[in-house]
Amino acid sequence: MLQSEENAAIGIGSLIIFIAMILVAGIAASVFIQTMNSLEQQALQSGQEAARDISSGLKVTQVSGYNNGSTISQIAIFLRTTAGSDYIDLTYTYISLSDTSKSVILNLSTDVYSNTVSGGLFGTLNDSNLTSTTYGLMVIRDVDSSCTSANPIINSDDLVVLLVNSTACFQGIDTRTEVTGNVVPEYGISGVISFTSPSSYINTIIELQK
């Protein structure tokens, strides 16, 4: 083989190797870019979820109880969203409640709902339809009509009452009983329930937590 032919063969081999290296580098760069885009999307989604969890939530503004003559048979939990909160869907919001001897988890019963307070705080909803696993919903203020029985969503400036049949849950709440719990949304900050019932029941409606 002539020297020129040998040089040409070596040159072609080197060119093939060079082209192969470029192809491998291109594939590696494509995989790297794809991985970076995926990580960026995941980081963005995680950041949005973290921001939503921090900025959204529920606040318990008041808890009242109904004295049936011997125990507190119903409790009404006044609830609103925290300042700057995103929309909260009560369909996915549950109440965790304990009287130190028993704990219950309650989910929303859309059958026990009212968008008015026509019968008073404890006379509007029929608490006999509530069990130890369900709570009722009464809307006090809803400017944009977003909180319906089919779509119970609360947002800024909305105020609702969650009604609990404490007789079904705890056989009623006696005097000097410590009750704790949370109203837990799908995401965000939970509303806190914490009170000790009075040493005696005098009034029909008793303020338990302010």
pLDDT profile of the chain (210 residues), mean per 10 = 54 72 76 68 56 74 96 97 91 96 96 94 96 97 93 94 98 97 95 96 96
pTM: 0.76
Torsion of CA 205, 200, 179, 86, to 10 degrees: 30
Strands (E), the chain: 58-67, 72-81, 88-89, 94-98, 103-114, 134-141, 153-154, 159-165, 178-184, 191-196, 205-209
Q: Compute the distance between CA of residue 38 and CA of residue 189 in angstroms, rounded to an integer.
A: 29
| Integer CA distances (angstroms), 176 to 1, 46, 102, 142, in order | 107, 44, 16, 35
The per-residue pLDDT for 61 is: 96
The per-residue pLDDT for 8 is: 54
